[in-house]
Amino acid sequence: MIRIKSLTKIYHSNGIDIKALDNVNLNIEKGDIFGIIGPSGAGKSTLIRCINMLEKPTYGSIEIDGVEMTKLSPAELKEMRKKVGIIFQHFNLLSSRTVKGNVAFPLEIAGLDKKTIDNRVKELLALVGLSNKANSYPSQLSGGQKQRVGIARALANNPKVLLCDEATSALDPETTLSILNLLKDINREFGITIVVVTHEMNVVKQICNKVAVMEKGRIVEQGLLVEIFANPKSKIAQNFLRSLTFSELPEELKDKIRNLHRGHLEWKIVKINFFGEVTAEPILTSVIKKFDVDINVLYGNIDHIQGIPYGTLIVELRGNNKIEGVLRYLQELGLEVEVIGNV
């Protein structure tokens, strides 16, 4: 569906070349919900703007549904963009138009007749759950409702690809979840390929089946989401997963972990990540029996990603010279083990 090869984007500023994208290669299959994650400045938004040619690449190729985007004439590009919808972080709605008028706008530009436009707008507003807001203005809507209008507008021309540029960053967690569920429903019902750009690992976890991790304009890791979660190879992916774990910890527990680490250097605070079937195994019981150590569970959580269970345990180990043996044993079982120095 989307083939990106050797994509490079260089900006020129005050005589200095700034490489926003550096030899990016991606293969996004039809029907994927593909996540692109990275910190601010990683090149995520530049990449998504290059995909629909809002930014012209310096080098490289972008192929969508068999069409090479970089070789299109302005008229051909205008037609091709109808196949590529985009939703934005800050909604980009027209404040002077009603909800109905905003969704109708791309259809009007396409030159469709009024009856066709009215019927299509009704379908779209029903799809996103806003039939009762057709005559409201953006100023009268919540953030989640504005983004639903943005989604309806992006779907107006029946696109094959939907690009989401930090589409939930301005929303609260509950609203974010409702928007992600809507996008999943759209993907499932219509088979639309969705590309999600975000700096939030939790968004990727909730919706994507594949993910690419960006840093300093480059793709440093990509693959199936479950594989990245189970065995992140790049430092940046490991940091994203670590931030996902520790963002869930209560502050009082973080304080306890810090104090334990400072006050008892002979003890160790250890984070253990479980993935798949091992999640159900009595690992800690076997450790206690085998090594005769004391284990104090400070935090535990089990969640699911695409139906596969994964979990995190944070434990305090006391056992002096036996602790290193415990850590090796856990690693031999295939668990990801990290001695925590700070949180």
Same structural domain for residues 200 and 80? yes
Same structural domain for residues 162 and 305? no
Mean of per-residue pLDDT scores for the chain: 88
State the pTM of this model.
0.83
- Res 237 pLDDT > 70: yes
Per-residue model confidence (pLDDT) at position 247? 56
| Domain of 274, in residue numbers | 248-339
Same structural domain for residues 291 and 227? no
- Res 94 pLDDT > 60: yes
Interval 31-50: pLDDT, tens? 999 999 999 889 999 999 99
pLDDT band at 301 (very low <50, low <70, confident <90, very high): confident
Q: Examine the fold and report which residue of 231, 258, 289 is the final residue of a domain before the chain moves on.
A: 231
Interval 109-158: pLDDT, tens? 989 999 999 999 999 999 999 999 999 999 999 999 999 999 999 999 99
Instruction: Report the pLDDT averaged over residues 218-228.
Output: 91
Rounded to whole angstroms, the maximal C-alpha distance in the chain is 79
Return the percentage of the chain with pLDDT > 70, whole number.
Answer: 92
Instruction: Report the pLDDT averaged over residues 308-313.
Output: 79
Interval 55-78: pLDDT, tens? 999 999 999 999 999 999 999 999
CATH number at residue 94: 3.40.50.300
How many domains does the structure of the chain reveal? 2
pLDDT band at 3 (very low <50, low <70, confident <90, very high): very high
Q: Examine the fold and report which residue of 231, 263, 283 is the final residue of a domain before the chain moves on.
A: 231
Same structural domain for residues 178 and 280? no
Same structural domain for residues 57 and 151? yes
What is the distance between the alpha carbons of residues 144 and 128, in angstroms, rounded to a whole number? 11
CATH number at residue 255: 3.30.70.260
Per-residue model confidence (pLDDT) at position 317? 84
Q: Examine the fold and report which residue of 177, 204, 231 is the final residue of a domain before the chain moves on.
A: 231
